Amino acid sequence: MTIKTKKDETPSVTLHDKFGRALNSLRISVTQRCNLQCFYCHREGEAASKNEMTKEEIAKIARMACEFGMKKIKLTGGEPLLREDLPDIVREIAEYANEVSLTTNGVLLEKYAQTLSKAGLKRVNVSLPSLNPEHFRRITKKDCAQQVKDGIKAAVQSHLHPVKINMVVLKGINVDEIPKAIDFAQEVGAILQLIEFEPIQPENYVHWKTFHYDLVSTENWLKEKAVSIQENPLHKRRRYILEKNSSPVCVEIVQPMHNSTFCENCTRLRVTSNGKLKPCLLRKNNLVDIVSLIRKGASPDELREAFRKAVMLREPYWKRRNEELQLAFA
Nearest-5° angle of CA 125, CA 122, CA 238? Answer: 50
Yes or no: say if 24 and 65 are a contact pair by the CB < 8 Å rule: no
Site for ligand SAM in 195-224 (CB under 6 A): 195, 197-198, 200, 204
Bridge pairing between strands 268-271 and 276-278: antiparallel
* Identity of the amino acid at 302: E
* Number of amino acids touching ligand SAM (CB under 6 A): 20
Q: Is 264 in the site for ligand SAM (CB under 6 A)?
A: no
Yes or no: say if 150 and 104 are a contact pair by the CB < 8 Å rule: no
* Interface residue with ligand SAM, options 25, 101, 127, 218 (CB under 6 A): 127
Site for ligand SAM in 69-98 (CB under 6 A): 76-77, 79
DSSP code string of 272-310: -TTSEEES-TT-SS--EE-HHHHHTT--HHHHHHHHHHH
- H-helix segments, the chain: 55-67, 86-94, 109-119, 133-140, 145-157, 178-188, 204-211, 216-225, 260-264, 291-295, 300-312, 322-328
* Interface residue with ligand SAM, options 105, 117, 130, 273 (CB under 6 A): 105
Q: Which is nearer to ligand SAM, 41 or 313 (CB)?
A: 41
Binding mask 152-171 for ligand SAM (x = CB under 6 A): --------------x-x---
Q: Is 31 in the site for ligand SAM (CB under 6 A)?
A: no
Q: Which is nearer to ligand SAM, 107 or 306 (CB)?
A: 107
Bridge pairing between strands 247-254 and 191-196: parallel
Q: Which is nearer to ligand SAM, 251 or 294 (CB)?
A: 251
> Least distance to ligand SAM from the beta carbon of 70, Å?
19
Q: Is 40 in the site for ligand SAM (CB under 6 A)?
A: yes
* Interface residue with ligand SAM, options 33, 39, 42, 320 (CB under 6 A): 42
Positions that interact with ligand SAM (CB under 6 A) = 34, 40-42, 44, 76-77, 79, 103-105, 125, 127, 166, 168, 195, 197-198, 200, 204
